[in-house]
Structure 1
Amino acid sequence: MLTIQQIKEDPQRIIERLAVKGYDGTVTINKILELDDNRRKTQLSNDTKAAELNKLAASIGKLMKEGNKEEAEKAKAAVAALKEEQKAIADELARTETEIRDILLTIPNVPCDMVPEGKTAEDNVVEKTGGNMPDLGDDALPHWELAKKYNIIDFDLGVKITGAGFPVYLGKGARLQRALIQFFLDEAGKAGYLEVQPPYVVNEASGYGTGQLPDKEGQMYYVSEDNLYLIPTAEVPVTNIYRDVILSDDRLPVKNCAYSACFRREAGSYGKDVRGLNRLHQFDKVEIVRIEKPENSYAALEEMKDHVQGLLDKLGLPWHILRLCGGDMSFTSAITFDFEVFSAAQKRWLEVSSVSNFETYQANRLKCRYRGEDKKTRLCHTLNGSALALPRIMAAILENNQTPEGIVVPEVLRKYTGFDIID
């Protein structure tokens, strides 16, 4: 969440940049400033009462020693009255601080200056394009038909066991899935990311820490009896490792990667865009997470983009990078770049990765800080990216590599699969 200091330094700029996300922050930001002014006045009153209490309490012993019992009793009564007044002030202070925090939790992150204006995905900017477009002809099959033809993914069986959006991978399909996971983890390890194997359910504090809660769209699966949430991405448990942590200067940057299953309700999703692997309720993903000093975070963001691009190049997939406009960005992000691969049979682009810098927004929620050489503590910057999400990568590999003989496995994966072709 935003800090009070960020808002106080330039409230008008905050309001103007929030408008890029389509958020009208005029009333909210002014309310925060008003409440903070009240909080400071209440805090001053509380401090004044505390000083009076200390002075009176100290005088009681002196009066008793002097034998001035009547004055001592008056002082005791005054102390009792002041304590009641101070309790009322403290209660008011706590209410104000809670109200400030509750409002701050509703304010999205401020998009950085590089974020273009726009309302929908149509306004995103193509930054870069790479890879060769396959020419398969009009008779190319979409991946859901290829999955059935080669018996590698069973969507109907998933519906029987659980419901739509929970496919069952079979034989070479399951092995290809595992090959992708191991390839992504190995490449992350080569890039200096320490692998973490996180839990797949998190508590409420973790959800708030990375900004998934409050869950306005109801996209998280909730286990009500235990008050736990199934993770929508490994970003949540991995970033929360550093909740309420002060890192020493020499521990930065932190670079972690993690494989996990991910769970998303995808409420309201329907139509052709959800066919096959295009949109699932459960899917696999390898995530990269970084904790950085503020001055280094945008260089780290470029490194993460280069890492994802390298993975797509090695898989031989055509890709492009989108700089998301304000209206298409997530609630918590300061800037996001999406990677999409081209699906030759569907003749459309499929998102396979989002790489984001959250600046101090998550770190303030998490209280993730570092201690500099001057011994002062400061908020870190947090970043994360999909490297990569598997379903649409799998879809593109199946579709783009289909031949009359079968589906050719990308060369970089063959040492993991143990086979060159799915036939």
Structure 2
Amino acid sequence: MTPTTPTSDPVSLPTTRPEGCPFDPPEELARLREREPLTRLAFPDGHVGWLATSHAAVREILGDSRFSSRYELMHLPMPGAVVDEMPPAPVGDMTGIDAPEHTRFRRLLAGRFTVRRMRQLTERIEEITAQQLDAMAEQGSSVDLVQAFAQPIPALTICELLGVPYAEREFFQQQVATLFRRDIVAEDLYAAMNELGNYMGGLVTAKRAAPTDDLLSDLTTSDLTDEELTGLGAFLLAAGLDTTANMLALGVFALLRNPDQLAALRADPATIDQAVEELLRYLSIADPGMRAALEDVEVAGRLIKAGETVVVSISAANRDPHRFPDPDTLDLGRHAAGHLALGHGIHQCLGQQLARVEMRVAFPALLSRFPTLRLAVAPEGIPLRTNMSIYGVHALPVAWD
């Protein structure tokens, strides 16, 4: 089949979520997806690339090695994002590199993030979760669930896994939060990167001198240089802190706004595995993604030319009715296997099994411990992370009887 040429003018990336629907992606994405799976996209710097919105197209692009993840080959799609040239990924940042460099890091880590190994962590995650629930109960009958629950559980877990002192969490959480801001200026971005890098560099030096029982110490026996191990450690710390924390907080918000689904999960906690996959699909907090075509590639009947940036909308793909019937409904009984919330292809989330274990433990424990849990403010008063690259809530005030 000969690739066809789009007849419509390029669009700008839709970013405005429908008012009163904090869990739904921008409505324009659905309209674009219905019209065609690939749409010409106008970038703020003048580049014209593509926006992929269907599940099939997004999955195909993420799994095709002819599309690169290297930052320096891409153009930024967010409104107001105009830079002369994207810098290469920092050393150790696995999301911004291709094979064979990516393969080397992936092989070093893959055996340390297996399903079996993550399940072995379950008992410790259960202990961490119980401690946070005890602390919530001691505070009274109202807390900010982000501060009291959603952030500490993944933070404690990733700190223990890596061997990072949890007592210093306020410092590195602040740096990570800065890195994920969409409106950050270059000076602040590089300052946060340097602060986190210097901190991790000192920790790597200490691990080499006196190894302990943790992942960073384990990696000091590999062929990674100090610079590589420092960068990789910072990357794993940032990834382990922010994504799961926002899934926990936004997931609870979604459950509280869907009382029938909340009741179903409380009635049958054994369905938690299926519920976690549906929440991942429904919320799609890490969106959008980007790739750059290394050569001319045909996708969905369109010719993507070498050098063009393709924005892949994970949220639109996960709400594709051709893949998931009634996709805008949160249905914890749905078999949501095949969702793209954790990516696809060689860059699929390395820590996905750890994130799943944390959610499988945390959600049922919270709902069981506080059966009358409810929002402490009106839903429209919840501050949303619309200014961050990982979606979620800045705070989630909750109360219980």
Instruction: Say yes or no: TM over 0.5.
Output: no
TM-score (norm 2): 0.26
TM-score (norm 1): 0.25
